[in-house]
Amino acid sequence: MYIVFIGPPGSGKGTQAVILAEQLGIPHLSTGAMLRTAHDEGSALGRLAADFLLQGKLVPDDVMVQLVAERLSRRDCQAGCLLDGFPRTLTQAQLLDRYLSERGRQVDLVLELVADEEEVVRRLLRRADLEGRADDTPDTISRRMHVYQRETAPVLDYYDRRSQLMRIDGHGTPEEVAARVQQSVSARRH
Ligand code: AMP
């Protein structure tokens, strides 16, 4: 099963994606985490992505599509995976569909974690204190929210038109949200 997880920064998407991937026994593929690792390792990809990451801007589509295609081609993703943070633009969504359909596969389900802006900004600022993520500063948070509305909202429309989208209320404790996620996925599978 190929599942796409979408949600604004601070919606709890990363936490929920880890839980769901574990429940389903499929790899969790976080493009943000892949880029941060590349950055920490100082690889060519990391150097290319550094400014985009720090400024809360999107890394160019061709770089992202290549990165994800390479990861999807590995053996552990052949039966499915959970994509967290990808696709984030319409072009990425279209190229992902093309990549999967050329291999007789498809995106089976898209989950959107919905949370209001006040709540996500509060969570991000708390995460900044706890984890010290370089892109959790007030300026970058505001840029990332803006980028989400501009670039990622059309991705949601794209999947909604194909009836692939399920919206999940992201408010409440991580356990409450996880229960909602699980319910939506099992409703879809049966
Ligand atoms: P995330 O951990 O998903 O919030 O991603 C952190 C940062 O990584 C984003 O603000 C972007 O700079 C970059 N990034 C992650 N995924 C993508 C993507 N699919 N397309 C472009 N940039 C991305």
Q: Convert the pLDDT of each residue in 33-80 to its tens digit.
A: 999 999 999 999 999 999 999 999 999 999 999 999 999 999 999 999
DSSP annotation of 77 reads: G
Q: Cα of 58 to ligand 1 centre, how many Å? A: 6
In three-state secondary structure terms, 111 is strand
pLDDT at residue 190, as a whole number: 66
Ligand 1, residues at Cβ distance < 6 Å: 9, 31-32, 35, 52-53, 56-59, 64, 85-86, 88, 92, 135, 144
pLDDT at residue 64, as a whole number: 97
Residue of the nearest CA to atom 8 in ligand 1? 32
> What separation, in Å, do the N-terminal and C-terminal C-alpha atoms of the chain show?
13
Q: Cα of 16 to ligand 1 centre, how many Å? A: 17
Q: What is the per-residue pLDDT across 98-135, written as a single tens digit (0 to 9) for each?
A: 999 999 999 999 999 999 988 888 888 888 788 877 88
Please identify which of the residues 57, 71, 105, 127 carries the catalytic annotation. Answer: 127
* Residue in this structure with the two tokens 């890394």, named with its chain if needed: 59
**pLDDT greater than 80 at residue 189:** no
Q: What is the per-residue pLDDT across 132-173, written as a single tens digit (0 to 9) for each?
A: 778 888 888 889 999 999 999 999 999 999 999 999 999 999
pLDDT at residue 117, as a whole number: 85
**pLDDT greater than 90 at residue 188:** no
Q: Cα of 52 to ligand 1 centre, how many Å? A: 8
pLDDT at residue 134, as a whole number: 81
pLDDT at residue 88, as a whole number: 97
Which mutation among 11, 58, 91 tests ligand 1's pocket best, with the greatest number of atoms within 8 A of CB?
58
Task: Evaluate whether 107 touches 4 at the Cβ level (below 8 Å).
Answer: yes
Task: Evaluate whether 158 touches 93 at the Cβ level (below 8 Å).
Answer: yes
What number of other Cβ atoms are within 10 A of residue 116's Cβ?
12
Catalytic residue list contains 127: yes
Residue of the nearest CA to atom 5 in ligand 1? 32
> What mean pLDDT comes out for the span 29-35?
96
Please identify which of the residues 57, 71, 133, 167 carries the catalytic annotation. Answer: 133
Residue of the nearest CA to atom 15 in ligand 1? 32
pLDDT at residue 126, as a whole number: 85
